[in-house]
A and B are shown apart, each in its own frame.
Chain A
Amino acid sequence: MIKNLKLRLNLDVEAEKRVYDYLQNSERSISKEAIRSINEYLDLIEERNTENNFLDRVTATIEDSLKALTPLLNLLTLTQPVAQPQQAVPVSEKKDSAAEENMLEFLDSF
């Protein structure tokens, strides 16, 4: 079964013009290029979801392992106190966190 789809692109809209230019300059037919691009995009989304799930599992495993180690680490800190080097916070990060505080304070007033 073959279905026809009409694609309407407004060339005054940058995103739509980009698609138009891309399809026009393609060496394949417009249909083939659209099918290939959309399928690649869908595969990418699927791949990203798989990667995210994998990363979530890795993070959870590390967190669990650290939790299990916490009593041992506390014991080591008591017997061999180690001075923790203070982490330098970049100036821009300090500013952003101040802005974030301002934002949350403002929202709390509602």
Chain B
Amino acid sequence: MKTLNNFKIIGIDHGYGNMKTANCCFPTGVIASDTEPPFTNDLLVWNNKYYSIGVGHKEFTADKFTDEDYYILTLAAIARELNRERITDTKVYIAAGLPLTWVTRQKEEFKKYLLQHRTVDFNFRRTDYHIEIIETDVFPQGFAAIAERLGEFKGTTMLCDIGNGTMNLLKISDRKPDMLNMFTEKYGVYQCTLAVRETMMREHHTNLDESIITEVLKKGTADIDGEYLNTIITAAKAYTAEILRKLREHDYNPKLMKLYVVGGGGCLIRHFGEYDKDRVFINSDICATAKGYEYIAYTKLSKNGGAV
């Protein structure tokens, strides 16, 4: 969260798997109910409804604003950031993002979605919040994660942002992003999980719990039967090889350019990919994109004296 004039800029990365802010990360699951559920820590109350936040993951959808889930998750993300500084009443500027090639088409609709209520009163984790959403802006995912360090990108680099549902590619030549070389592919950790699960079912007739797959994808190993672990690793390696093949399809040449990987899917390349460690950099900060949104918004607004 950044402060400019009398408002707070809050970067929010609305992922398919997790919501990220500059300092927090929580799963995208939301369960709504008309009565207060027992034993819920992350409870958000708004409009006389109760929402359990972070329970499971949201289903993959191409548009993030077809239901109210991402709006509720946005409020929870704002509350989490404000709570770090014990603020409950303030003006908020939301800095959000969309996959690279979807920004132009969906930007206005996403902004409208986030600005659907200017003033919002809600309760999160038993604390009342009163916020005024004064404006919002939508930036390209992936690029945001490196925006602050763009000056360091000498030569040619392929930026690859692997999220849960999409993979965004952008070529950067001598510190300049190349508009003609940016792509969004529906490749991500979620699809890898599905591929692993399918392989397990085919080879061992076993339905694997998602938490085990996630653990192996994140850490490269887990405390399970060796044969099962080998099957998961083999499937993850095959999927990662597919990601690298897709990169080459979009003109990534490891001998001519560096590769900079951001997003939660970086763990796939790290654990299951074959790559030259001197020419591939994996940024494991899952909040990098949200931090980037804040940096971009702050820079843009500061140029204008902070006027919204």
* CB-based contact B139/A45 at 8 Å: no
* CB-based contact B86/A45 at 8 Å: yes
Residues in A neighbouring B107, C-beta threshold 8 A: 110
Partner of B299, one of A12, A104, A109: A104
Given A12-B219, A49-B85, A110-B140: A103 touches B147 (CB 8 Å cut-off): yes
- Give complex CA distance A12, B223 in Å: 15
Given A52-B3, A98-B175, A99-B175: A104 touches B300 (CB 8 Å cut-off): yes
Partner of B150, one of A42, A45, A102, A109: A102
* CB-based contact B85/A106 at 8 Å: no
* CB-based contact A42/B140 at 8 Å: no
- Give complex CA distance A98, B113 in Å: 34
Given A46-B86, A49-B85, A107-B139: A102 touches B104 (CB 8 Å cut-off): no
Residue B112 lies at the interface, judged by CB distance under 8 Å to chain A = no
Residues in B neighbouring A109, C-beta threshold 8 A: 179
Residues in A neighbouring B177, C-beta threshold 8 A: 102-103, 106
Q: How far is the CB of A1 from chain B (nearest CB, A)?
A: 16
Interface residues of B in 169-191 (CB under 8 A from A): 175-177, 179
Residues in B neighbouring A110, C-beta threshold 8 A: 103-104, 107, 139-140
- Give complex CA distance A109, B101 in Å: 12
Partner of A45, one of B3, B85, B104, B303: B85
Residues in B neighbouring A45, C-beta threshold 8 A: 84-86
Residue B32 lies at the interface, judged by CB distance under 8 Å to chain A = no
Given A49-B85, A52-B3: A100 touches B103 (CB 8 Å cut-off): no
* CB-based contact A102/B3 at 8 Å: no
Given A45-B86, A102-B176: A95 touches B151 (CB 8 Å cut-off): yes
Q: Which residue of A lies closest to B146 (CB)?
A: A103
* CB-based contact B86/A42 at 8 Å: yes
Given A42-B86, A45-B85, A110-B140: A103 touches B103 (CB 8 Å cut-off): no
- Give complex CA distance A95, B149 in Å: 11
Q: How far is the CB of A64 from chain B (nearest CB, A)?
A: 15
Residues in A neighbouring B176, C-beta threshold 8 A: 102, 106
Binary interface encoding of chain A residues 54-76 relative to chain B, with 1 for a CB under 8 A from any of its CBs, else 0? 00000000000000000000000
Residues in A neighbouring B151, C-beta threshold 8 A: 95-96, 98-99
Residues in A neighbouring B252, C-beta threshold 8 A: none
Residues in A neighbouring B124, C-beta threshold 8 A: none
Residue of A12, A95, A102 with most chain B CB atoms under a 10 A cut-off: A102
- Give complex CA distance A49, B107 in Å: 34
Partner of B296, one of A42, A52, A98, A107: A107
Residues in A neighbouring B85, C-beta threshold 8 A: 45, 49
Residues in B neighbouring A98, C-beta threshold 8 A: 151, 175
- Give complex CA distance A107, B137 in Å: 11
Residues in B neighbouring A46, C-beta threshold 8 A: 86
- Give complex CA distance A39, B169 in Å: 44
Residues in B neighbouring A103, C-beta threshold 8 A: 147, 150, 177, 296, 299
Given contacts A103-B150, A107-B140, 18 further A-B contacts (CB under 8 A): A12-B219, A42-B86, A45-B84, A96-B151, A99-B151, A100-B299, A102-B150, A102-B175, A102-B177, A103-B177, A103-B296, A103-B299, A104-B299, A107-B296, A109-B179, A110-B103, A110-B107, A110-B140
Cross-chain pairs A/B with CB under 8 angstroms, 12 sampled = A98-B151, A99-B150, A99-B151, A99-B175, A100-B299, A102-B150, A102-B176, A103-B299, A107-B139, A107-B300, A109-B179, A110-B140
Ranked nearest first, the 10 interchain pairs of A and B with the lowest CB-CB distance are A99-B151, A99-B150, A106-B177, A110-B103, A102-B176, A96-B151, A95-B151, A103-B147, A99-B175, A110-B104
